[in-house]
Chain A
């Protein structure tokens, strides 16, 4: 499956030299939103100066949780939301222990990273990459 991965040693993690190009490009190009805070990934600087990334690893826990079967893997193994089926219950948001789901108050359906790779191209530090990894086994949560 396609997975977005970050190398925090390369990532500037929100310090002065970084303009959060990954978040801005995600918000603007993928979701047509001007606010980078609405992106489907987040890079944060921790109190100790280290970086932290909030991004979807396509683990698929949310697939089992969704009552409407609106979350499914596509042929690339990426977990996608079918907006037609989604009933806006937000169980996926509450049950994601990585807290990667986003919600725009103007939309009923939540959204998430789809491993599209736009952020990879935007990152000036080459900290992000799309990798191919095996699908993890289904977890019962």
Chain B
């Protein structure tokens, strides 16, 4: 494997200012808006990262309320995901489900969010009860909404209730107005709606950058996998860009509440709006980091050129790129969708950060994409990314290696408001079921879901958006599809359960973890289900080989979920932490933690809030929220060991084809790890031996990780751990735990 070299002469010459516009009906759409409620508020700016108030809106009763942020909230929950979980805890009962009016969607940026001097500081954290998992889901998303909300005067937005008509919530942080409007004629799909609303609510062209829209799309209404798009106005391109709060179906909750969109109009952004305690430290840390990106990124990950897609070929080279529903880890056609292609296809002559000051600038965009299918056939659009997860999930995992189709799939997922990761994994499952005869054309209503059939894939997505046919079944997600297929007697239940890549009801994200015990735990020993937000350990385990022993892996599953949780408490993106590293990083102790960057984060928090912390307190801050979330899961009837099991496809080879494709590796493991002689064993015996060994070591890992986390063997945080974290100050939290000890 060699470093991809960027050649500017190979970048496709595409006019990045040209695309189809959707403003023709704007006046009629605006005229149809009817104000249901309008109340004034006093805009404020944060003091040391906090406004010390949040905004509550009940979209059913139209109640609007300002709530104080207590010192306890700041001490224990910090902000962002922590504030979201705390608000949600107070809003719901153990019996509450995703579509009950008391379920909430909470958006909170965190205290550091909105500074402009360091990369990756514009994130919003979105929390809700998930339609897929019935437990809290949290999603970390870029775009300008969170920072603009905060600079308007609120540390979080709580949305509760259910409307009986489509509404838009408009928060005007310039004029101090909160308005709930009925929106009967507004378009639904995000690339249209965000454009229309940005132009509708901006007072002039210069004001467009001060507008951010949160919305979803047609498929969120007919599936459980809806996501939320967070917009910003890309002035150079002259268009709306979107970032996604993807996982867990929050867009479905949004549409169930009949919220069409949230619009925030913030003040013009300046670098001092967060009124931090120590600006000089933030400025110096930011400049140091920008220089590191300038000097090291071209020789390391090339995030500025390729975005996260830079790892497509690395994952392929290490047999970790999910292919054909996580059966295999590589494919000969991968060069067609690797970063050397995307860096030619994505526009390189512009700035691609999803918040000001992000020098990592990974939010790539492919301009001039002419759509071939669906309601926007013939339209020219800009497609964000594709990010690695999309190239892998919509691409290799479904056998789609045509980059044009991959962009189209990516585009429609975004505008229809569904999670690309979830859609990729569930489609890969559908395709494997089709290939194995569990599904057929009769059962799919005519969709020929064979590997690589992008047209059928797109048609299934269009069905999901129209609420028709097999698209409705697919939109229920892998867990519910498994139950349907088994109930209908369409295939061997064990096979269906083994190959359906979900845990807790959430689909796996796009890494092959059969050979990475650490990532197996990183996926299934999680709070919200298998994603790479909590513990993306595959790279350090399989590529950098920095956590070789069992103890290293168990320790990594203690430290990294906590470390990475911290980003979500403060409004940070995770990528600037380890997608570039200081030149001397490998010489540092605990190089896999990127110690210099950890210190940057300690400094940024202290300089923002004035509260002095060190790297240990950083972990403690996360541990309070992480354990609180675990207990929240238990309160909702999950969060125990039984919920942390992984489907066997995540642990090892399910089918004979998988075994035979890597027979040398698997046979060697029979000798080295099990002390058996594969020459004397049948294929079935060898596969059975692998199943026993692999499930055994996963259980052993679970024991070790629970113990390190201060949990019982059933996965329940102990009272001693609660006391250590100060969570014993919450009697209702202690009460949940006591019932399981």
Contacts and interface: CB of A to CB of B under 8 A. Distances in A.
Interface of A: 64-69, 86-91, 93-95, 97, 103, 105, 108, 138, 140-141
Given A93-B290, A108-B270, A87 B349 contact: no
Given A67-B356, A140-B349, A95 B294 contact: yes
B357 A67 contact: yes
A105 B293 CA distance: 23
A88 B116 contact: yes
Interface in B286-311: 286-291, 293-294, 304
Interface residues of B, number: 32
Given A67-B358, A87-B356, A140-B348, 10 more contacts: A67-B351, A87-B270, A88-B270, A89-B271, A89-B286, A94-B286, A94-B288, A95-B359, A140-B8, A140-B349
B280 interface: yes
A32 B16 CA distance: 41
B271 A87 contact: yes
Interface in B420-451: none
- List the 9 closest pairs (A to B, CB-CB), nearest first: A94-B290, A88-B271, A89-B357, A89-B116, A94-B291, A87-B356, A87-B116, A67-B351, A95-B294
Given A67-B351, A69-B235, A108-B272, A89 B356 contact: yes
7 contacts: A65-B351, A87-B269, A90-B117, A91-B290, A95-B294, A105-B280, A108-B271
Contact of B356 (A64, A68, A93, A97): A68
B587 interface: no
Task: Decide if the interface of chain B is mainly helix, strand, loop or mixed.
Answer: loop
B549 to A, nearest CB: 38
B142 interface: no
Nearest to B289: A94
B289 to A, nearest CB: 7
A55 B236 CA distance: 28
A90 B294 CA distance: 13
A64 B359 contact: no
Contact of A91 (B235, B279, B350, B359): B359
A135 B542 CA distance: 47
Contact of A103 (B283, B288, B359): B283
Contact of A90 (B236, B269, B290): B290
A90 B280 CA distance: 12
Contact of B349 (A64, A95, A97): A64
B353 interface: yes
Nearest to A69: B235
A88 B117 contact: yes
Given A68-B356, A89-B356, A103-B283, A95 B290 contact: yes
Nearest to A103: B283
Residue from B279, B287, B358 whose CB has the most chain A CB atoms within 10 Å: B287
Contacts of B288: 94
B208 to A, nearest CB: 12
A138 B351 CA distance: 13
B236 A69 contact: yes
B117 A97 contact: no
Given A66-B351, A108-B272, A90 B283 contact: yes
A91 B288 CA distance: 10
Contact of B294 (A97, A103, A105, A108): A97
A26 to B, nearest CB: 21
B117 A89 contact: yes
A96 B231 CA distance: 29
Contacts of B235: 69
A92 to B, nearest CB: 9
Contacts of B351: 64-67
Contacts of B116: 87-89
Contacts of B293: 94-95
Interface in B329-386: 348-351, 353, 356-359
A141 B390 CA distance: 25
B271 A94 contact: no
Contacts of A90: 117, 271, 283, 286-287, 290, 357
A94 B349 contact: no
Contact of B357 (A64, A69, A91, A103): A91
A113 to B, nearest CB: 18
Residue from A66, A87, A103 whose CB has the most chain B CB atoms within 10 Å: A87
Contacts of B358: 67
A129 to B, nearest CB: 30
Nearest to A92: B290
Contacts of B357: 67, 87, 89-91
A86 B271 CA distance: 8
A138 B349 contact: yes
Contacts of A88: 116-117, 270-272
A88 B269 CA distance: 9
Interface string B49-72: 000000000000000000000000
B73 to A, nearest CB: 29
B408 to A, nearest CB: 26
A60 B107 CA distance: 39
Contacts of B356: 67-68, 87, 89
A103 B271 CA distance: 13
B353 A67 contact: yes
